[in-house]
Amino acid sequence: MKPSLKHFFDSMDAYLGGAPGAEGLLKLSASHPGWDVDPQRMALYGQFVRGHVRSTLEKLFPLTRKAVTPEAWDALVEGYTRTRPARHYELNRLGEGFAPFVADAASAKGLPPFLPALARFEWTDFAVFASEEVLPDAVERLTPNPTLAVLEQPYRLCAFVRGQGADAAPAEGEELALLWRHPERLMTFFMEATPPALLVLKMAVEGLSEQAVAQATGMPAADVHAEVVRFAKDGLVLLPSVQ
């Protein structure tokens, strides 16, 4: 290998294995005369990245943003940009660590106590929508929607989110939220878990028949069937094609 080629690979190895950011790029440039980096161009790229981070966070967390002052939101975005560099090629993925960041910052910055749970809900809403779980074209028995996510939270966020944050804050109270992507409408559905919904999910997970559930619970068989059909229509569970 020619010395010049070896120098190129050695320097690139050091750059790719080093710390991210402009400093590593400047060191790489210094080791190769003629590769001078224009500081103004570097600053322009930095502004692009910061703008992408801000616009993506504002798209993914609209209610979280709405729940704080503009100054508090700016501080969150700036702090997140500094400490959670965007690395994934898919821009939306840069929001993956925002909810934990908000949770860490909440008490120190005097943010609303419900904000971490709200940010987690909004991220889960997107993650379910973008889930790579495969929805089968057909199932042989009652089946849970494979995109289903379950959140335990100390606030009644389902109603708050459904109302687009019209209230100043969500009501306090333990809530089990179910979020899933509808197999046909391809959008995230969510609801507070109710006894009928949990019963139908139990049937799907454990392979229980409608007749067995009717006998065990005392519910009329017609009512059990109606609940199964209702939640299948909403996409929470998947039904065999022949029903």
Give the model's pLDDT for residue 50.
74
pLDDT of 223-242, one tens digit each? Answer: 999 999 999 999 999 999 85
The domains of the chain, with CATH numbers, are 131-243 (3.90.930.50)
> 104-107: long-range contacts at Cβ-Cβ below 8 A with a sequence spacing of 24 or more?
105/76, 105/79
Q: Tell me the pTM.
A: 0.81
pLDDT of 5-45, one tens digit each? Answer: 888 788 777 766 666 566 666 676 777 777 666 666 655 55
Between 172 and 15, where is the model more confident? Answer: 172
- Do residues 204 and 143 touch, judged by C-beta distance below 8 A? yes
Beta bridge partners of 149: 179
